[in-house]
């Protein structure tokens, strides 16, 4: 399912669906953001197997996937060498580093952190 959603997004992006005319609000981009999130929330609330799948997720894996984002420092390095513009590199780099550093706090602050990481 995620593969097909990715394919649809790729095709729509290649056809320029998400590009708004100059001065117009990017409504297609807003719909592209809100539609998948709304469908997920609807599925989570109404379809029991979806809810059970989400609740059974391995939190250590989720944290590990997010914790690598401290490497957003690389974006700032690319800015320093003139490869990336600052308007992108600073928010993306600092945002990635903030998520990477704080992701483990969700497991550490849990009332029973040992159950999440096999301890």
Res 78: pLDDT: 92
Domain ranges of the chain: 1-56, 58-119
- Please state the pTM of the whole predicted model: 0.56
Res 87: pLDDT: 92
Band of the pLDDT at 57, cuts 50, 70, 90? confident
What is the rounded distance in angstroms from the CA atom of residue 6 to the CA atom of residue 12?
10
CB of 106 within 8 A of CB of 63? Answer: yes
How many C-beta atoms lie closer than 10 Å to residue 12's C-beta?
13
Taking residues 63-92, what's their average pLDDT? 88
Res 66: pLDDT: 79
């Amino acid at each position: 399912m995620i593969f097909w959603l990715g394919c649809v997004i790729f095709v729509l992006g290649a056809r320029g669906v998400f590009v708004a005319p100059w001065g117009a609000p990017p409504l297609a981009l807003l719909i592209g953001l809100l539609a998948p999130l709304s469908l997920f929330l609807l599925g989570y609330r109404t379809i029991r197997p979806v809810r059970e799948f989400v609740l059974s997720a391995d939190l250590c894996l989720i944290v590990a996937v997010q914790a690598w984002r401290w490497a957003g420092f690389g974006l700032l390095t690319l800015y320093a060498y003139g490869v990336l513009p600052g308007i992108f590199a600073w928010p993306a780099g600092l945002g990635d580093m903030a998520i990477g550093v704080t992701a483990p706090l969700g497991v550490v602050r849990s009332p029973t952190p040992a159950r999440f990481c096999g301890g």
